[in-house]
Amino acid sequence: MNHPSHPDPTTGAKSAETVLADYIASACDAALPSAVALRTRCHLLDTLAAILSGRFLAAGAFGYRFVESMGEMRGATLLGDTRQSTLEYAAFANAMAAHADETDDSHVRGRFHPGCGVVPAALAVGEGRGATSDVLLRAIALGYDVGARSTIALGFTNPRTTNFSTHSFGTLFGAAASSGALMGLSAEQSEALLSFTVQQASGLSYWNRDPDHVEKAFDFGAKSARNGVFAALLAKAGMTAPDHPLTGPRSYLEAYAENPMPEALTDGLGSRFEVAHSTIKKWSVGSPLQSVLDAVSEVFDRTPTPSDAIAEIVVHLPSNRIHVVDDKHMPAVCAQHLVALATLRGPVSFAASHDTALMQDPEILALRQKIRLVSDEALTHAKPERQSIVAVRMANGEERRHHAKVVRGTPDDQMCAEEVAAKARDILAPLLRDGGERLITMCLEEDFSVADLSAACAISSSLERSTLTWK
């Protein structure tokens, strides 16, 4: 492999691999702009809340149970606990929990959920390396940068124009970059890291047939976090690799891209930080339903409304997204259930959106009979993406309508740090002895070590799973 400092012999310019390798190798030494550092802190807190709540959902429970069956090994903490495992296993278990439901963040242009893979990998390696908060935040921001660019460069024109899953690719490249930076890889080792990452790139889009969100958590976050850490360990150990794994013959772009855009791999590095272009969900529900709950809140002025006051609710959703949320058996991804819940009870909390018993509530079931979903092709092409329209005909004949165009929490309408903290409190209050206040303050305001952060995540040993409304 050519040393990264050597220019391409044909063009005299550095290859995309070389530019990325240089960026990875120097990322932990480069201070983030203050606004970017704050956004990274917000995404760290949001992901930790997803991990701690996800521990008690099916995917998270499986991930922890699987790793614990391997026996306790030193390296990094299984968050919410004091037990540890290897860096790879800890990253795996924490990532299974991070995407155990639909609480975690997303990146619309990159078509992946960065936090559920990048943050668990960075925390595992950062804890093992004794990383400070500044270094951890730089590594996490790096993971969002590299992960988003790895999928944007594939040039996919539509989620259905490829058999491959950007959700698997983005988190893998992001987790590998974060891990490599925290391990202090040289530029040459970082270029090798990219090769080991490419060779582990896999993922098919049949994850959307997973009714239980368990393998989906593996596909979106856990395998990427594990494999990203492993790729960094190989590079740190000095394993060698061929050059140009991203752009050369039979490389990543040649194998997977629809419209290869190699320039996108490095475009804006150091000036456009993708964590600032990521979404923190206001509601702990599936992405296509964020705008729907926004619209329901506006239509009913955030006030609970009884079923007998309503004649009909019609929900228009993009035609390429409606199948994801139409009459699903999981409450957090069922449009009809969540619309009924939000109408009858007002703004939807995390606990309410994950309470499966509520799906059999007679009042909610009765209102669901008045709710109709409409596939809307115009919304499919609307910008920004994932808009919805909620139209209501009241029993007295009054008609109400709201078109949710810009979703709260997206880059076009970001939640402030106080709103992210409020979301975290809603999730963490039943889990942490102080309601999550120490963890929130640490993430958003303080310098910390990763070990201290892990300690602040410890769930009370007296917590009974049966006391939670989500299980």
Strand extents, DSSP E, 11-103: 76-77, 84-85
Average pLDDT for the chain: 94
Q: Phi and psi (nearest 5°) for 6? A: -85, 130
Does the pLDDT at position 5 exceed 60? no
Region 309-334 average pLDDT: 95
CATH class of 16-277: mainly alpha
Does the pLDDT at position 209 exceed 60? yes
Domain boundaries, the chain: 16-277, 287-404
Among 130, 155, 126, 127, which residue's Cα sits nearest to residue 142? Answer: 126
Q: 63-67, 69-73, 123-127: which range is least confident on average?
A: 69-73
List beta partners, residue 389: 316, 403
Does the pLDDT at position 466 exceed 80? no
Q: What pLDDT sits at residue 254?
A: 96
Q: What pLDDT sits at residue 160?
A: 66
Q: Which pair of structure tokens corresponds to residue 81?
A: 């606990």
Q: What pLDDT sits at residue 163?
A: 80
Among 347, 343, 396, which residue's Cα sits nearest to residue 370? Answer: 343
Question: What crossing angle do the helices spanning 115-128 and 166-182 adopt, rounded to 10°?
Answer: 20
Q: Phi and psi (nearest 5°) for 100? A: -70, -20
Q: What pLDDT sits at residue 285?
A: 95
Find out whether 459 and 80 touch, Cβ atoms under 8 Å: yes
Q: What pLDDT sits at residue 6?
A: 47
pLDDT band of residue 4 (cuts 50, 70, 90) is very low
Q: What pLDDT sits at residue 9?
A: 54
Q: 1-7: which pairs have CB atoms within 8 A and are 24 or more residues apart?
A: 1/188, 1/191, 1/192, 1/195, 1/240, 1/241, 1/242, 1/243, 2/243, 3/187, 3/188, 4/187, 4/188, 4/190, 4/191, 5/187
Q: Are 16-277 and 287-404 the same fold in CATH?
A: no
Q: What pLDDT sits at residue 334?
A: 96
Task: Tell me how far the alpha carbon of residue 385 is from its chain's centroid.
Answer: 17
Region 194-217 average pLDDT: 93
Distance, CA of 32 to CA of 21 (rounded, Å): 18
Distance, CA of 219 to CA of 226 (rounded, Å): 11
CATH class of 287-404: alpha beta
Sign, CA dihedral 128-224-412-256, equals positive
Q: What pLDDT sits at residue 185?
A: 98
Mind listing the pLDDT tens digit for each residue in 42-58? 999 999 999 999 999 99
pLDDT band of residue 462 (cuts 50, 70, 90) is low
Does the pLDDT at position 419 exceed 80? yes
Find out whether 68 and 90 touch, Cβ atoms under 8 Å: no
pTM of the model: 0.94
Q: Phi and psi (nearest 5°) for 215? A: -65, -30
Region 296-309 average pLDDT: 96
Strand extents, DSSP E, 284-368: 310-318
More confident residue, 209 or 221: 221
Distance, CA of 141 to CA of 118 (rounded, Å): 9
Q: Which pair of structure tokens corresponds to residue 345?
A: 């009870």
Distance, CA of 252 to CA of 151 (rounded, Å): 11
Find out whether 407 and 386 touch, Cβ atoms under 8 Å: yes
Q: Which pair of structure tokens corresponds to residue 279?
A: 């979404």
Q: What pLDDT sits at residue 297?
A: 96
Buried b (16+ CB within 10 A) or exposed e, 109-147: ebbbbbbbbbbbbbbbbbbbbebebebbbbbbbbbbbbb
